[in-house]
Amino acid sequence: MSRQQTIIKESLKALMEDESFLPDLQAQTREQAFNSLVSLLSTPNHIHKSFLRITLENGTIVRIPAFRVQHSNTVGPYKGGIRFHQSVNEDEVSNLAKLMTLKNSLHEIPFGGAKGGVIINPKEYSIKELNLICKKYVQYFHDVIGPDKDIPAPDVGTGEREMDWMMGEYKTTHPGKQYRNSFTGKSIVNGGSLGRREATGKGVYFTYRYMMHNFVKENKKWLKDTENRFAHTALDHVDGKTKIAVQGFGNLGSVAALEAYQCDYLQNKVVAVSDHNVMLYHEEGLDIPALINFAQEHDGELPTSEEQLRDYDVRAEIKERDDLLELDVDVLLLAALEDQIHEDNMKEIKAKIIIEGANGPITEEADKDLADKGVLIIPDILANAGGVIVSYYEWIQGRETQFMTEDEVFDRLFDKLKETMDTILPQFFGDPFPLRQNCYIHSVMKLSTIMYRQGKLY
């Protein structure tokens, strides 16, 4: 049983015991309906897979495994990114599609959940070959994607360039049909939304900032009197300087780090950042704007030598990348890949607050161990929804061909995240469940109600 299935089952069990939830369902009928919900929410509607036939520039023909998993369209069209990475597999894509359904439900975005994946290392292919892979992906899955069916977006290993290519191919394969909102995360010139690239990183940091500055500071008296162990963790870190370490310095991690660096509401200092090569550390805080400038000029990578640091006037120690997780810091912001904190390193984690910018960066075993020790984990389902929220705004703009300014996009993003936090946080700090469980219960409750009202439990 996957982690999502376990949490879904636990959430439905808690809801089944709450007689105020779906009160029309009683006795055996109630049990049957909730058994149906476990099955419906734990399994995808469709798993599409194929082998993309690609002719490389050297003339060799290869066949590359590709997936599109559609979990649920109960709330609206399927929605989810396309990942280009060598570790992609069917189970991973299925679990991420499930998470998208739950995330969209939690934040009341009228989309279902889906995910795509291609098993490649993009760095090993030329631009021409990547263009062909993108076109072939659309050709192979053209009948299951579309503006009102399933709207893909960028993910690990993809970006606006790939979405532009894919939208162009969708337009070619569907002449005369609506195409502009068939993909989101596109470039501005191709109908993308201002702020989409920064949306996930901004949303991740805003979730943390809102919790600590707005909610915890404003509710100190109530939180001090509660027995909730996570409330006391938050209170211990709300005042004074906070040391933050950021794992991953791509679009998500660099934007979130910059938000922390520039924040006037909390006394942050980003003391460590890492990418796939290196970790940079400075006790008094790193110059995040300078590191972003370096990454923009060096294919997204951080400095790896003293000379490079000097060239950009950055004061930092160069350390092993994996050591970042075990640093003695207050906050860990995880913006890389899945399963970064696991059974082998969970005992070495010293941070008391962890923000999941990436999807699933903490394994089930580690999650339980850290929660038992009072570590406050802001889960992916809550923290990293900025991308899909602004993708929804891009989708709307594509349908209406009326576009918002960047400030309007960010204002609406923050209002949407604030709305979710105002619903979740009072409940979370008032009961003993970890924040992840609270979010899942809330999300599953919404999905279950809609399924019941649509007559899908018979």
Q: What is the pLDDT of residues 138-196, one digit of tens each?
A: 999 999 999 999 999 999 899 999 999 999 999 999 998 989 899 999 999 999 999 88
pLDDT over 70 for what percent of the chain? 100
Residue ranges of the domains in the chain?
A: 46-189, 197-387+418-443
Is pLDDT above 70 for 365? yes
Is pLDDT above 70 for 314? yes
Domain spanning 46-189: CATH superfamily: Leucine Dehydrogenase, chain A, domain 1 (3.40.50.10860)
221 carries an active-site annotation:
no
Query: At 83, phi and psi to the nearest 5?
Result: -105, 130
Both tokens assigned to 73: 């369209």
Domain spanning 197-387+418-443: CATH superfamily: NAD(P)-binding Rossmann-like Domain (3.40.50.720)
pLDDT of residue 1: 61
String of DSSP letters for 282-348: -TT---HHHHHHHHHHTTTPPP-SHHHHHHTT---EEE-GGGGGGS--SEEEE-S-S--B-TTTGGG
Pairing of strands 61-72, 78-84: unpaired
Is pLDDT above 90 for 379? yes
For the residues 255-265, what does the mean pLDDT come to?
95
pLDDT of residue 29: 85
What is the Cα–Cα distance from 213 to 327, expressed in whole angstroms?
Answer: 24
Catalytic residue (choose from 79, 98, 115, 135): 115
When the pLDDT of each residue in the chain is averaged and rounded to a whole number, the result is 93
Is pLDDT above 70 for 109? yes
In the 8-state DSSP scheme, what is residue 210? I
In the 8-state DSSP scheme, what is residue 216? I
Q: What's the pTM value of the predicted model, to 2 decimals?
A: 0.90
In the β-sheet with 78-84, what is the strand arrangement from edge to edge? 46-55, 61-72, 113-118, 78-84, 150-154
- CA 238-241-242 angle, 5° bins: 70
For the residues 311-336, what does the mean pLDDT come to?
95
- Which residues lie closer than 8 Å to 52 by C-beta, 6 or more apart? 63, 64, 65, 66, 118, 133, 136, 137, 140
Q: What is the pLDDT of residues 69-104, one digit of tens each?
A: 999 999 999 999 999 999 999 999 999 999 999 999
pLDDT of residue 306: 95
pLDDT of residue 174: 94
- Whether residue 63 contacts residue 76, with contact meaning beta carbons closer than 8 Å, is answered with no
- Whether residue 58 contacts residue 94, with contact meaning beta carbons closer than 8 Å, is answered with no
Higher local confidence (pLDDT), 262 or 299: 262
pLDDT of residue 32: 86
In the 8-state DSSP scheme, what is residue 188? G
Please choose, from the candidates 428, 414, 2, the residue with its C-alpha nearest in 3D space to the C-alpha of residue 210. Answer: 414
- Same fold across 46-189 and 197-387+418-443: yes
For the residues 281-304, what does the mean pLDDT come to?
95
pLDDT of residue 131: 98
Per-residue exposure over 194-227, b if at least 16 CB sit within 10 Å of its own CB, e if not: bbbbbbbbbbbbbbbbbbbeebbbebeeebeeee
